[in-house]
Amino acid sequence: MLTLLDQIDQGTLWPVPGGIHPQGNKRTSNQTHIERIKLASEYVIPIPTLGQNCTLAVKVGTNVFKGTPLTEGAAHLPSHSPTSGTVVAIEPRPSNHPSGILVVSVVISADGKDQWDVNLNCEDYSTKTNNEILKRIQQSGIAGMGGAAFPSHIKLDPVSDVELVIINGVECEPYITSDDRLMREYSDDIIHGIEIINRLIEPERIVIAIEDNKPEAIKVMAKSLAKSEVLSPISRVTSVPTKYPSGGEKQLIQIITGKEVPSGGIPAQLGVLVHNVATAKAIAKAVVDGKPLIERVVTVTGESLQRPGNYWVPIGTPVEHLLRYAEYKEELGLPIIVGGPMMGYELRNPNAPILKGSNCILAPSSNEMTPEPNEKACIRCGECAVACPAKLLPQQLFWHSKAEEYDKAASYNLKDCIECGCCSYVCPSDIPLVEYYRVAKSAIKAEAQSKLEAEQAKKRFDERLARLEKEKLAREEKSKQAAARRQSSMSGKDKNAVAEALARIQAKKSTQEDDSQSKVAAAIARAKAKKLAANKSLDQNTEIESNGTQDRKENVAAAIARAKAKKLATSEANDTNSESAGNGAQDKKEKIAAAVARAKAKKLAASKSIEANSESADNSAQAKKEQIAAAVAKAKTKKQAKLDAQNSEALLSSNKSETNEVSPANENSDKKAKIAAAVAKAKLRAKQKTAAKAADEEQ
Q: Is residue 312 helix, strand or coil?
A: strand
pLDDT tier, 663 (very low <50, low <70, confident <90, very high otherwise): very low
pLDDT (0 to 100) of residue 466 = 94
Q: Is the pLDDT of residue 585 over 80?
A: no
**C-alpha distance from residue 346 to each of 110, 185, 343 (Å):** 28, 30, 10
d(CA 644, CA 646): 5
420 marked among binding-site residues: yes
Residue 101 predicted with pLDDT over 70:
yes
Reported confidence tier of residue 665, pLDDT bands at 50, 70, 90: very low
* Domain regions of the chain by residue span: 4-10+20-362, 373-489, 553-698
As a whole number of angstroms, the distance between CA 138 and CA 149 comes to 13
Of the candidates 322, 357, 314, the residue with the CA atom closest to the CA atom of residue 45: 314
pLDDT averaged over every residue in the chain: 85
Q: What is the pLDDT at residue 659? A: 41
Average pLDDT over residues 274-296: 94
Taking phi first (over 0 means left), then psi (-120 to 50 degrees means alpha), and beta for anything else, what does residue 463 get? alpha
Give the residue from 77, 570, 582, 456 showing the smallest Cα distance to 282: 77
Mean pLDDT of 664-679: 63
Whether 384 has a binding-site annotation, put simply, is yes
Averaged over 651-657, what is the pLDDT? 49
Give the tens place of pLDDT for each residue, 435-462: 999 999 999 999 999 999 999 999 999 9
Q: Is 54 annotated as a binding residue?
A: no
The answer for residues whose C-beta is within 8 angstroms of residue 667's C-beta and 6 or more apart is none
pLDDT band at residue 578 under the 50/70/90 scheme: very low
Identity of residue 548: G
Does pLDDT of 363 surpass 60?
yes
pTM of the model: 0.67
Q: Which residue has the higher pLDDT, 249 or 588?
A: 249
Task: Report whether pLDDT(617) > 60.
Answer: no
Other CB atoms within a 10 A radius of the CB of residue 366 amount to: 13
Helices (H), 122-214: 130-139, 152-155, 178-185, 187-201
Q: Strand, coil or helix: what is 672?
A: helix
Q: How do residues 173-200 score in pLDDT, each as one tens digit?
A: 999 999 999 999 999 999 999 999 999 9
Q: What is the pLDDT of residue 30?
A: 92
Residue 547 has pLDDT above 70, yes or no: no
Mean pLDDT, range 635-643, rounded to an integer:
71
Q: For position 11, what pLDDT does the model report?
A: 87
11-15, 219-223, 260-264, 664-668: lowest mean pLDDT where?
A: 664-668
pLDDT greater than 50 at residue 344: yes
Within 8 A by CB and 6+ apart from 436, the residues are 397, 398, 401, 402
Please tell me whether 422 is known to bind a ligand: no
Residue 135: which pLDDT band, with cuts at 50, 70 and 90? Answer: very high
What is the per-residue pLDDT for 491? 64
Q: Under a CB-based contact definition with an 8 Å cutoff, are residues 221 and 210 in contact?
A: yes
Angle at 565 between CA 559 and CA 571, to 5 degrees: 140
pLDDT value, residue 509: 83
Q: Is the pLDDT of residue 126 over 60?
A: yes
Interval 569-574 mean pLDDT: 61
Say how far apart CA 411 and CA 604 lie, in whole Å: 120
Over range 358-367, report the average pLDDT: 93
pLDDT per residue as tens digits for the range 483-541: 888 777 766 666 677 777 888 888 888 888 777 787 888 888 888 888 888 877 676 66
Check whether 110 has a pLDDT greater than 50.
yes
Q: Which CATH superfamily hosts domain 4-10+20-362?
A: NADH-ubiquinone oxidoreductase 51kDa subunit (3.40.50.11540)
Q: In CATH, what number does 373-489 get?
A: 1.10.1060
DSSP code for 350? T
Return the minimum-mean-pLDDT range out of 294-298, 318-322, 329-333.
329-333
Provide mean pLDDT across the span 264-272. 89
Please tell me the predicted confidence (pLDDT) of residue 529: 84
Position 627 scores a pLDDT of 66
Q: Which of 122-136, 158-172, 529-543 has the lowest mean pLDDT?
A: 529-543
